[in-house]
Structure 1
């Protein structure tokens, strides 16, 4: 029930037999606008038995899906983390979001995702924001703007239930949010299975269809830092676009889950090749017995990455001859193929389109 004027709306709500009322200002130009908003926060905090700061954060995030990662670094006071672990945590949170966004964007789920990401994923990343820290252990959060669900009426101030009819499909942003949660939940379940099941890491390959990938597992390992500390991940959906009948409890990773995730990422990369990768670099090693095909290694970069890698491959005779010439003339080469990891080495299967680049004289 409410009364409304041109400058304010009076809301009433009965909670456990006690009636609460709040006067919501509708014009930000009112002289006492700030005081009236503060009064509303106080009423809501008492009615919901929460802090005013928590209520304010919910209001600020009304159109945001919020993923929070709570880490528990050893030997650190609440709210603190080692510099290296902190930097790694933020980078890993980004990698986690990228892995989920790619799995939503791709036509088929892939156990090993390509370094080069579609434009849709890159556009989405530009919309995601890092949120402020909160009380407790070291907490980082990612805030994703979510388009509101259009309804025929205004959501009541105190009402926690969604109004209107749920749309049959969710927007890309919400699908990424749910993919993050579901894929992390699947990886968590697979890690638990791997600790007790004789099938080892098969649960991870079975969960690729849910968004689990080597990239996602590596991101989760990074959230644990160098020391592999425990952490949990939670999702708070935007109130402007609520989910019906879906519980989203926090997902907790123990310290013993971290090495399992690392082993799963390596296993996936060794079992499944990353297809159609472009490598550009310099030939640093050549080897063949006499004539015909031979093995080379290239020190270069993979398309979509800046890090220098060393990649090994076998070339047919005509391409091996090109590699020899490039090595003698100190020219760079490019080649496309499928990357797979064997131990600590990267190998390219099915190399094709091998060519010597026409480097400029300045290079």
Structure 2
């Protein structure tokens, strides 16, 4: 009897995987099938496998299972290893383990399961919101966050107390992955996952150093208040320990600061930090403002003149309540070019966006306009 593969394999992931491991598409007389030609068999002829063109066909799962068994035999691997490789072709996988399940092994109460999924969804929703606009808190989710959550998939549960997996796409349109590979840029979807993992790692550091401000002060690259609250609520009133893991798709390099990080456990100390961070981040009240002044610094971790969609940084000297302060700006390429020109000429600029203060630091995000004052 064949071992059944528990996870339905997305067609696009399977096609990409087969291409990656050296199988090429060839003609097939049945127009409902996609044929692939692979390595030579013992008789010197290329092996061929065929899968349905539509994953809704009745024989889709059985044909895919046969194809994966052939691949597993050729690669000398367990079939589940091959399944995992296929699933990572176009997705990162975020794993959550509920470590305290009470008297029942590998199960949790249904109400807690429902709330857990909502809280995990909120983690991704508000992670995408912060990736769009790096605010410390949000009153409600942005549309970009709602859209991103719709792209994520709930995977199968797994053993280890009680575990579930969220498959997050590394890119919205799989067909365009090659374009990102060629220009060595990270797509938005991967940036959201990196933000989540960076937040978890900074939370871990905050606990080790007994300093919640580590997490608070890095909200621009990690957690906003809603993300803190989502993990806090996942703890069921700080009573449940949570294990968190990530599996990265090999399609894109992971940022160096989180590249080798994995295997976190959230416990009572973690929840205290999350509670503190959420409270502090909610105290910061952004407001719409227009400021004037001269650019004093420009900064970018990458080529600021590239077409890649990422935020460049600049600092402007502005007067607030009769006092000169430095305001950090988050700029897109077009706005950065204006700031660069103004800095070179030594002339002031006018900037409109969302302004707020944290501690002694002023910051403006969601910049809507930048113009040189003549």
Which TM class, normalised by the smaller chain length?
0.5 to 0.7
- The question of whether the paired residues in 2 share the 8 Å contact of 1:214 and 1:264 is answered with no
Query: Of the candidates 138, 152, 155, which is equivalent to residue 162 of structure 2?
Result: 138
Q: Aligned in 2, Cα 1:166/1:116: closer, same or farther, shift over 3 Å?
A: same
Is 1:225 aligned to residue 227 of structure 2? Answer: no
Is 1:110 aligned to residue 132 of structure 2? Answer: no
Counterpart residue number, 2:312: none
Within 5 Å, give how 1:61-210 maps onto structure 2.
62-106=89-133, 109-111=134-136, 113-145=137-169, 146=171, 147-148=173-174, 149-151=176-178, 165-194=181-210, 200-210=211-221
Counterpart residue number, 2:276: 264
Counterpart Cα distance in 1 of 2:59 and 2:237: 51
- The question of whether the paired residues in 2 share the 8 Å contact of 1:73 and 1:229 is answered with yes
- The question of whether the paired residues in 1 share the 8 Å contact of 2:97 and 2:242 is answered with yes
Paired residue secondary structure (1:258): helix
Q: Kindly state the Cα deviation for residue 26 of structure 1 after the two structures are TM-superposed.
A: 5.7
Counterpart Cα distance in 2 of 1:244 and 1:255: 26
- The question of whether the paired residues in 2 share the 8 Å contact of 1:231 and 1:254 is answered with yes
Within 5 Å, give how 1:237-252 maps onto structure 2.
237-238=248-249, 241-243=251-253, 247=259, 249-252=261-264
Q: Aligned in 2, Cα 1:27/1:124: closer, same or farther, shift over 3 Å?
A: closer
Paired residue secondary structure (2:246): strand
TM-score, length-normalised on structure 2? 0.55
Within 5 Å, give how 1:274-289 maps onto structure 2.
274-275=285-286
- The question of whether the paired residues in 1 share the 8 Å contact of 2:212 and 2:273 is answered with no
Query: Of the candidates 245, 260, 265, which is equivalent to residue 234 of structure 1?
Result: 245
| Higher RCO (C-alpha under 8 Å, 6+ residues apart) | 1
TM-score, length-normalised on structure 1? 0.56
Paired residue secondary structure (2:38): strand
Counterpart Cα distance in 2 of 1:35 and 1:263: 48
Q: Kindly state the Cα deviation for residue 93 of structure 1 after the two structures are TM-superposed.
A: 0.5
How far does the alpha carbon of each residue in 1:98-117 deviate from its partner, in whole angstroms, 9 at most, with x for none?
221111010xx333x12123
Counterpart Cα distance in 1 of 2:254 and 2:284: 39
CA RMSD across the alignment: 3.9
Counterpart residue number, 2:360: none
Paired residue secondary structure (1:114): coil
> Size of the alignment, in residue pairs?
251
Q: Kindly state the Cα deviation for residue 252 of structure 1 after the two structures are TM-superposed.
A: 1.0
Structure 2 gap segments, 5+ residues each: 1-21, 29-34, 41-45, 289-354, 356-374
- The question of whether the paired residues in 1 share the 8 Å contact of 2:186 and 2:252 is answered with no
Q: Aligned in 2, Cα 1:22/1:78: closer, same or farther, shift over 3 Å?
A: farther
- The question of whether the paired residues in 1 share the 8 Å contact of 2:127 and 2:192 is answered with yes
Is 1:25 aligned to residue 42 of structure 2? Answer: no
How far does the alpha carbon of each residue in 1:62-116 deviate from its partner, in whole angstroms, 9 at most, with x for none?
323322212212425443113343233212112211221111010xx333x1212
Counterpart Cα distance in 1 of 2:58 and 2:217: 60
- The question of whether the paired residues in 2 share the 8 Å contact of 1:114 and 1:274 is answered with no
Q: Kindly state the Cα deviation for residue 47 of structure 1 after the two structures are TM-superposed.
A: 5.8
Q: Aligned in 2, Cα 1:139/1:34: closer, same or farther, shift over 3 Å?
A: closer
Q: Kindly state the Cα deviation for residue 60 of structure 1 after the two structures are TM-superposed.
A: 4.8
